Chain A
Amino acid sequence: MRPLSEYLQSFLLVELLRGLRLTGRHFFSRSVTLEFPEERAPKSPRFRGHLALRRYANGEERCIACKLCEVVCPAQAITIESHQRADGTRRTTRYEVDMFKCIYCGFCEESCPVDSIVLTRLDTYTAEVSGERVLNKQQLLSMGDRYESQIAADRAVDAPYR
């Protein structure tokens, strides 16, 4: 008997219709795919994305070259050189992050005494030539300038829990 019922099932396209039923169900339900570049998934204020260096409101860079982020970084992605700036303050002459090494752990942000190095919400970026993976101080500062309002808002939201 079995071979006969199997024969009938395949002849009447039962399996195909079953499959189409599933397709049909999803065809009319609400879509969950985001149109990526135009649409983005929501992110937590604690999201750990691309690094940035912040400034104070008066435009002065926050970083004081304490090198704590450099020493805490488990991936050794940060390289800092420091000096005494003409006004006598301690500043970096070089601040570089190798974005291929960075594992987005956020330790650098945790260690920074002046909230200078931060992880932003930015999670999509590319490098076209090999050298571009190393971001210098200028690039990091301009990242900070660009996203400052978001960065500040995120820190404010998180502040009560720190």
Chain B
Amino acid sequence: MSQEKVTIEIDGRTIGARAGEPLIEAADRAGIYIPRFCYHKHLSVVASCRMCLVEVERAPKPLPACATQVADGMKVATRSAGALDAQRGVMEFLLINHPLDCPICDQGGECELQDQALGYGRGVSRFVEGKRAVADEDLGPLVATEMTRCIHCTRCVRFLEEIAGDQELGGMHRGEQLRISTYTGEPLRSELSSNIIDLCPVGALTNKPFRFRARAWELLSFPMVSVHDGVGSHLSVHTYQGRIQRVVPRECSTINETWIADRDRYAIEGLAAPDRLREPLVKRYGEWHTAGWEEALSAAVAGVRRVLEGHGAAGIGALLAPHATLEELYLGGRVVRALGSANVDHRLREGDVSDQEQAPPFPYLGGTIAELEQADAVLLIGSYPRHEQPLIQHRLRKAARAGAQIMALGLRRFAWNFELAEEHAVAPQHLVSELAAVAQALGERKQRKLPQALRGLPGGSVSEPARAMAKRLLAGERAVVLLGNQALSHPQAATLRALAALIGEWSGGRFGVLAAAANSAGGWLAGALPHREVAGRPSAEQGLAADAMVRAQLPCYLLHDVEPEHDLWDPAAADAALRQAEHVVAVSSFASERLREVADVLLPLGAFGETAGTYVNTEGRWQSVRGVAQSYAEARPGWRIWCALAQLLELEGFAYPDIAAVHAEIAGACRDVQPSSRYPAELRSSGATSADGGSSSAPGRASGQGSGVTLALAGAVPIYAGDALVRRSEPLQQSPLAARLEAVVAPETAQQLGISHAETDEATVRVRVQAAAAEALELPLVVSSTIPAGTVWIPAGLAERAQLGPPFGTVTIEAL
């Protein structure tokens, strides 16, 4: 589209436009409304509904405004007798086959067809013949269908093909038989699938869990941001009688455009899960008793005092969820520091933080989310944004469609929804050396040498894929190097960060970290760290990081919205640590069985939407939201709970009148923080430079004892297992993307195991998986060539695999 400015006239008004842009866009900008069904600004133009017919001077027939390009001097009439007549005619045709079921249709009250019918429809239909009926579809647990209502605008088809990336719906048959269908009868698999609900102008596609719950006109809408990844998508939550009923996207061109991930929309279905904590609980002699807030708080404080007297302040450690609000993270950190300890951390899923001293103020994307679209060469390291930050994937996909070379260096191959320029999957213990090889290859081309600390990492000659990646990165004008969730939880994450930052620098592009959780960045700013206070000020005392805290087996733990069996890097060690602890206080929205076993006091925490707070997304943008739903039973906002604890502990400076005061304090401190993604190339910890992930026995070989094969373990947190709320959302857990606990190995590895069956998606055999001294685990085995040989892929973050410990390591596998 050219940028040439032209002047056109619509309904007698002279407006400016760009030559060649769709007429409807120019009209929208000028605030002149033209009715439409099939047109959507983020989708391709098909001009199939004909609702947007307008009269253009010297055109013999009315023209569709969405498919007519603007030309200089054009004179358009959108409401002339001819245009209105055409629009009314189209409306009458559309209504011929549309059922009259507005009263039972969930779209009623927010339906584009209803609205247009009011403006352009006839009072009484002239059509007396029978209406068409269409057999219904089953699109899975997220999207309800009533295909008789479909008006064939194909927005849903185009969305799934153009934005979500898989052609999951299509128009079958033709003429009067035309119907929108999956054809295969499979449920939708896209992580963005539910956006078709908002796109569908009629009630053919509606929100399934929300079905028949409330009417559009009785809902109150509040702005909110998503808390399930580091993107911070803009949402509107709709409440009815103080309860959140549904979530819809709120447009934000710089973050999420008009889309949200299914996770953002349906996580709220977990809000009233059966194990939601209703009131404070105190454990006495191994029995749980419900208690009032005062009683529970004093029990919590009494325990902390006991530990302070018995073991000193260093015996206290706080693990705060990285999706807690900035204010909660700040207060949690301050309470622990005021007690004299510095054991506080929010990096629960990270195992290597040895570069923390020289790290930038917070993990930063290196630019804005929208800028990712402009990239022309992208290297993704240990990342699958499609499941980790779905809306980052959307930007990358846009870049790829515009010709960007996107490369992935990771631990397995994934189902990308665009063509990758390079995909290289290596066993976890080789990730560092492969990345070093990319750096080396870049260095060779740029006549630069790897810094001392990183030298010697490549196992020998630089591999072919590494060379190709380096070449493509250099060829790009706007290269981007991104480190994803799997790299961040790798046991040598610090080395990966150093190398990736170096590669970013040498390729002349930018380097960024994709934040895993809503406040992965905010936690750094808030000072929920063992070595830094708010705004990155150095901490007077040095505390233990999350994983070290778990290994140190402290006598007292304070947990904020943490489910140890899911949320910690090493759930096995966490379980052991919490079991031996004298006193565990859990501030939590939910009380899982395991949490009930290890905790001594449970304080109910206001969940998503019930508490005000701030989130800092991966691009460093601060977004504050209000609490919009009434609190659930006795649950209270986290910042109040921390203030109450502080006051009972007689700590100074926690008398905040409201959350705004807390926020102002943090914002004031962080005023001068400059985002940066410069990581030190000089690594401090010596262990980090050893090329194989510190594993003792070489994986991939049959080991001495038994018939088992020792393999390298790798895994990522599945898309619907990231936080307590998502894990409790029934519809998400029933969807095809829900986590399946299984061991996936390469065909070569399967042969080693003595299993000689072909690659399938379905598990047919079971294997016994044994990690270190833990109890063995029996898992179904899936054979897939997406996994590098010598590796077994077992998803992380699932309670059922907790005994295997960290996501990475070595395990012995034996066929059953």
Q: Which residues of A contact B (CB under 8 A)?
A: 64-68, 70-71, 82-84, 89-91, 113-114
Q: Is A90 a contact of B215 with CB atoms below 8 Å?
A: no
Q: Is B217 a contact of A84 with CB atoms below 8 Å?
A: no
Q: Is B213 a contact of A66 with CB atoms below 8 Å?
A: no
Min CB distance, A55 to chain B, in Å? 17
Given contacts A66-B104, A67-B215, 13 further A-B contacts (CB under 8 A): A64-B103, A64-B104, A66-B102, A66-B103, A66-B108, A67-B218, A71-B215, A71-B217, A82-B212, A82-B213, A82-B214, A89-B104, A90-B104
Q: Is B212 a contact of A84 with CB atoms below 8 Å?
A: yes
Q: Is B103 a contact of A114 with CB atoms below 8 Å?
A: yes
* Bound form: Cα–Cα A5–B214 in Å: 83
Given contacts A64-B103, A68-B103, A114-B103, contact A84 B211 (CB under 8 A): yes
| Set of chain A residues within 8 Å of B217, measured between Cβ atoms | 71
Tell me the B80-110 residues at the A interface (CB within 8 Å).
102-104, 108
* Bound form: Cα–Cα A120–B256 in Å: 54
Q: Is A90 a contact of B212 with CB atoms below 8 Å?
A: yes
- Write the chain A residue with the least CB distance to B104: A90
| Set of chain B residues within 8 Å of A67, measured between Cβ atoms | 215, 218
User: How many B residues touch the partner, as a band?
Assistant: 10 to 19
* Bound form: Cα–Cα A66–B215 in Å: 8
* Bound form: Cα–Cα A82–B212 in Å: 6
| Set of chain B residues within 8 Å of A90, measured between Cβ atoms | 104, 212
| Set of chain A residues within 8 Å of B108, measured between Cβ atoms | 66
| Set of chain B residues within 8 Å of A65, measured between Cβ atoms | 104, 212
Min CB distance, B74 to chain A, in Å? 43
* Bound form: Cα–Cα A97–B102 in Å: 24
Q: Is B103 a contact of A71 with CB atoms below 8 Å?
A: no
* Bound form: Cα–Cα A113–B105 in Å: 13
Min CB distance, B166 to chain A, in Å? 28
| Set of chain A residues within 8 Å of B103, measured between Cβ atoms | 64, 66, 68, 113-114
Min CB distance, B556 to chain A, in Å? 45
- Write the chain B residue with the least CB distance to A79: B241
| Set of chain B residues within 8 Å of A66, measured between Cβ atoms | 102-104, 108
Q: Is A83 a contact of B212 with CB atoms below 8 Å?
A: yes
Interface centre among A64, A89, A90 (most CB of B within 10 A): A90
Interface centre among B108, B212, B213, B217 (most CB of A within 10 A): B212
* Bound form: Cα–Cα A70–B218 in Å: 10
* Bound form: Cα–Cα A129–B104 in Å: 36
* Bound form: Cα–Cα A68–B211 in Å: 17
Min CB distance, A94 to chain B, in Å? 11
Q: Is B213 a contact of A83 with CB atoms below 8 Å?
A: yes
Q: Is B212 a contact of A71 with CB atoms below 8 Å?
A: no
Chain B, 198-222, contact with A by CB distance < 8 Å: what is the 0/1 string? 0000000000000111110110000
Q: Is B104 a contact of A71 with CB atoms below 8 Å?
A: no
Min CB distance, A115 to chain B, in Å? 12
* Bound form: Cα–Cα A67–B216 in Å: 11
* Bound form: Cα–Cα A83–B103 in Å: 14
Tell me the B281-340 residues at the A interface (CB within 8 Å).
none
| Set of chain B residues within 8 Å of A89, measured between Cβ atoms | 104
* Bound form: Cα–Cα A82–B215 in Å: 9
| Set of chain B residues within 8 Å of A68, measured between Cβ atoms | 103
* Bound form: Cα–Cα A36–B287 in Å: 66
Min CB distance, B165 to chain A, in Å? 31
- Write the chain A residue with the least CB distance to B211: A84
| Set of chain A residues within 8 Å of B211, measured between Cβ atoms | 84
| Set of chain B residues within 8 Å of A64, measured between Cβ atoms | 103-104
Chain B, 154-182, contact with A by CB distance < 8 Å: what is the 0/1 string? 00000000000000000000000000000
* Bound form: Cα–Cα A83–B215 in Å: 11
| Set of chain A residues within 8 Å of B218, measured between Cβ atoms | 67, 70-71
* Bound form: Cα–Cα A64–B102 in Å: 11
Min CB distance, A83 to chain B, in Å? 6
| Set of chain B residues within 8 Å of A70, measured between Cβ atoms | 218
- Write the chain B residue with the least CB distance to A83: B212
* Bound form: Cα–Cα A40–B227 in Å: 66
- Write the chain A residue with the least CB distance to B217: A71
Interface centre among A66, A70, A89 (most CB of B within 10 A): A66
Min CB distance, B82 to chain A, in Å? 35
| Set of chain B residues within 8 Å of A114, measured between Cβ atoms | 103
| Set of chain A residues within 8 Å of B104, measured between Cβ atoms | 64-66, 89-90
- Write the chain B residue with the least CB distance to A92: B212
Chain B, 213-247, contact with A by CB distance < 8 Å: what is the 0/1 string? 11101100000000000000000000000000000
| Set of chain B residues within 8 Å of A91, measured between Cβ atoms | 212
* Bound form: Cα–Cα A64–B217 in Å: 17
- Write the chain B residue with the least CB distance to A113: B103
Q: List 25 A-B contacts (CB under 8 A).
A: A64-B103, A64-B104, A65-B104, A65-B212, A66-B102, A66-B103, A66-B104, A66-B108, A67-B215, A67-B218, A68-B103, A70-B218, A71-B215, A71-B217, A71-B218, A82-B212, A82-B213, A83-B212, A83-B213, A84-B212, A89-B104, A90-B104, A91-B212, A113-B103, A114-B103
| Set of chain B residues within 8 Å of A113, measured between Cβ atoms | 103
Min CB distance, A57 to chain B, in Å? 20
Min CB distance, A77 to chain B, in Å? 15
Min CB distance, B164 to chain A, in Å? 27
Min CB distance, A133 to chain B, in Å? 21
| Set of chain A residues within 8 Å of B212, measured between Cβ atoms | 65, 82-84, 90-91
| Set of chain A residues within 8 Å of B102, measured between Cβ atoms | 66
Min CB distance, A51 to chain B, in Å? 19
The 5 closest A-B pairs by CB, nearest first: A66-B103, A90-B104, A113-B103, A90-B212, A84-B212
Min CB distance, A37 to chain B, in Å? 40
| Set of chain A residues within 8 Å of B214, measured between Cβ atoms | 82
* Bound form: Cα–Cα A91–B103 in Å: 11
- Write the chain B residue with the least CB distance to A66: B103
- Write the chain B residue with the least CB distance to A89: B104
Min CB distance, B684 to chain A, in Å? 59
